[in-house]
Every structure is written in structure tokens, then in C-alpha cells.
């Protein structure tokens, strides 16, 4: 019998054939659902939601406390069991929706953080490049004549020319004197 079972190929290592479904498989768009949950989570955090919930609970309690007993649908004698169930159901659905919205926000934060890291790395490499370029410009400027250096060289040349001119005029005068004596 074990041999017949193995021949059929229905062991644990063989995938089962897909069965026909009566209803189509529900596959919601994850982005649309995520956007809806974020909007819902944002709404639940607003004063408007708190006000609506407060009014709802007060009307519920007021109706089931002060209305005639045949019109009460959640009597005080049963400690407002239906209200408790409704609020528990709302909380049981709200918690996963809030977590889903928080996870999506965490994913966005993670992407933004990675982009910030990449931008910081680019800024650091740009800054290092500019520092190297500035250092090379400083080194090149050491070899370039500065304004003060050129002024001092021109002054010394001017002084040399004036000294030569003074020496030349002194020699000319002495030649003229020597020529006038003759």
C-alpha cells in the first residue's frame, strides 16, 4: 500500500494542484490600502475624532439610561455590554491599522535617512575635493609674485637706477670739469 501511495506522487515533496475557487481571491492594492490606513490613523488622532466618539458614547449612555425600558437596546442593568463590545471591536481594528500606518511611516523615514546619508557622503566628498583644490591653489600662489614682492623689487630697481643716475651725473660733471680745464 505504501508503494501505491508513492507512485501517485502525492508526497510532501510534491506540490498540490491548484483547486478551482468559488469566489475570486481578494487581493487589495497594498498602496491604496496603506494610504487609507494612514488617513484613518491621522483622523483617529484628531480632536474631531475624539469629539465624535465622546458624543457617540454620551448619546449611547444617555439613551440607554434615560429612555423608556422597552426602547433601550443596551440596558444599564446589563452594564452596557453592547457598547463595550463595539468599543472593543473598534479598538481591535484600530490597533493594527495604526501599526500599519506606523510601519509605512518607518519605511518612509528609512528611505529619507538613506537619502540623507547619501547626500552627506556627496557633500563630504565635495568638501574634500574643494579642500584639495584650495591647497593646490595655495601652493601655486607661493610661486606667484605677490603685490608686495613686486613693489619691493620695483623700489630696489628704482633705487639702483637713481644710484646709477647719480653716479653717472657725478662722472659727467667730473668729465666736464676735466674738459674745461684744458
Q: Which of 3-12, 21-30, 85-94, 102-111 has the lowest mean pLDDT?
A: 3-12
**Residue-wise DSSP of the chain:** -HHHHHHHT-STTSPPPPPPPSS------HHHHHHHHHHHHHHHTSHHHHHHHHHHHHHHHHHHHHS-GGG-SS-GGGTSHHHHHHHHHHHHHHHHHHHHHHHHHHHHHHHHHHHHHHHHHHHHHHHHHHHHHHHHHHHHHHHSPPHHHHHHHHHHHHHHHHHHHHHHHHHHHHHHHHHHH-
Mean pLDDT on 45-52: 92
Asked if the model's pLDDT at residue 169 lies above 80, the reply is: no
Mean pLDDT on 58-86: 90
pLDDT of res. 131: 94
pLDDT of res. 86: 93
pLDDT of res. 134: 92
pLDDT of res. 30: 80
pLDDT of res. 156: 93
Amino acid at each position: 500500500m505504501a508503494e501505491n501511495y508513492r507512485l501517485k506522487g502525492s508526497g510532501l515533496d510534491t506540490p498540490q494542484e491548484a483547486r478551482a475557487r468559488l469566489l475570486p481571491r481578494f487581493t487589495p492594492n497594498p498602496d491604496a490600502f496603506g494610504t487609507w490606513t494612514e488617513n484613518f490613523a491621522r483622523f483617529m488622532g484628531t480632536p474631531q475624532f475624539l469629539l465624535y466618539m465622546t458624543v457617540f458614547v454620551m448619546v449611547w449612555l444617555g439613551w440607554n439610561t434615560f429612555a423608556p425600558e422597552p426602547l433601550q437596546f443596551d440596558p444599564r442593568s446589563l452594564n452596557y455590554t453592547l457598547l463595550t463590545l463595539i468599543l472593543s471591536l473598534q479598538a481591535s481594528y484600530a490597533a493594527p491599522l495604526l501599526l500599519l500606518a506606523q510601519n509605512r511611516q518607518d519605511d518612509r523615514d528609512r528611505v529619507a535617512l538613506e537619502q540623507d546619508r547619501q547626500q552627506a557622503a556627496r557633500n563630504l566628498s565635495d568638501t574634500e575635493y574643494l579642500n584639495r583644490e584650495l591647497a593646490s591653489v595655495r601652493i601655486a600662489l607661493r610661486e606667484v609674485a605677490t603685490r608686495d614682492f613686486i613693489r619691493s623689487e620695483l623700489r630696489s630697481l628704482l633705487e639702483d637706477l637713481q644710484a646709477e643716475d647719480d653716479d653717472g651725473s657725478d662722472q659727467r660733471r667730473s668729465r666736464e670739469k676735466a674738459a674745461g680745464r684744458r
